Amino acid sequence: MTATILDGKATKNAIFEQLRPRVDALRERGIVPGLGTVLVGDDPGSAMYVRSKHKDCAQLGINSIRRDLPAEITQDELAKVIDELNADPDCTAYIVQLPLPKHIDANAILERIDPAKDADGLHPVNLGRLVLGKEAPLPCTPHGIIRLLRQYEVPINGAHVVVVGRGITVGRSMGLLLTRKSENATVTLCHTGTKDLAAEVRRADIVIAAAGVPALITPDMVKPGAAVLDVGVSRTDSGVSGDVHPDVREIAGFFSPNPGGVGPMTRALLVSNVVEAAERAAG
């Protein structure tokens, strides 16, 4: 069997076409949504993601507000940039690109973001609202994964989903979204304390690999016909690698490639959060 490819690029384009009339409607009311990005240091990967996010915005007529800052910036200086974006009426919503340099207390910075301007959906208040089942901007990568599964009609209700990784950006928030009544999945979250990763993954109808370990998921670990989503990104000397071994394609029923799968979906749902924040602010 060769898996059906979950095409994140095409699905992102479809989402953009749904967002376009909403951006146009805001602009007709004199409201131009603006996405802010805060990038600290000169990691080439992070710089590339930030560039592509602004390109996405330009495509839809959303303004870009960029704060590119030196790696040596102090906690207080960075906090001041956050305060400025919170106060800037042109900045509808923004993200602080992670990771931040080691000398920065990242949690203190993330908590300082105005929750109403949280484009990532990762502010503690918004994660708390998600836990409580209240409306909140949703974490972009997990939300993108759900939209991708729905686009290809992969059954989620009642499915056993194994998520590899419990990071806040992907794994842990993925579990929160999937266990809502609207998704109704049964979720196993795996991490470095998991005793037998292969045995856990083998039971999964849907595997979400978000550990950041090249080729962690091998064909022998996958139940034939399962949906496998490759989220992890590792930069090695030989280029960029996902968490899923390429031969898994021959075993899986659905497969999200990396690149071309979850990455573009993350960006689509980020832009969607900006549009929703602008609509909420406009009333």
Ligand X SMILES: Nc1nc(=O)c2c([nH]1)NC[C@@H]1CN(c3ccc(C(=O)N[C@@H](CCC(=O)O)C(=O)O)cc3)C=[N+]21
Is 165 annotated to bind a ligand? Reply is: yes
Q: Is the Cβ of residue 31 or residue 106 nearer to ligand NDP in the bound state? A: 106
Q: How far is the CB of 171 from ligand NDP (least distance, A)?
A: 5
Is 233 annotated to bind a ligand? Reply is: yes
Is 171 annotated to bind a ligand? Reply is: no
Q: Please state, in angstroms and rounded to a whole number, the distance separating the CA atoms of residues 100 and 82.
A: 14
233 touching ligand NDP, by CB under 6 A: yes
Asked if 162 and 190 touch (Cβ cutoff 8 Å), the reply is yes
Residue 53 annotated to the active site: yes
Residues of this chain that interact with ligand X (CB under 6 A) are 49, 52, 95-98, 120, 140-141, 169, 233, 258-260, 263-264, 266-267
Q: Which does 164 bind (CB under 5 to 8 A by kind): ligand X, ligand NDP, Mg ion, none?
A: ligand NDP
> Contact letters (x/-) for Mg ion, 143-172, by CB under 5 A?
------------------------x-----
Residue 223 annotated to the active site: no
212 touching ligand NDP, by CB under 6 A: yes
Q: Which of 7, 12, 97, 243 is catalytic?
A: 97
Subset of residues 190 to 209 that bind ligand NDP, contact rule: CB under 6 A: 190-194, 197
23 touching ligand NDP, by CB under 6 A: no
Residue 59 annotated to the active site: no
Q: Which does 212 bind (CB under 5 to 8 A by kind): ligand NDP, Mg ion, ligand X, none?
A: ligand NDP
Q: Which does 192 bind (CB under 5 to 8 A by kind): ligand NDP, Mg ion, ligand X, none?
A: ligand NDP
Nearest CA to 277 out of 46, 102, 23, 51 is that of 23
The annotation places the binding site at 165-167, 233
Residues labelled catalytic: 53, 97, 120
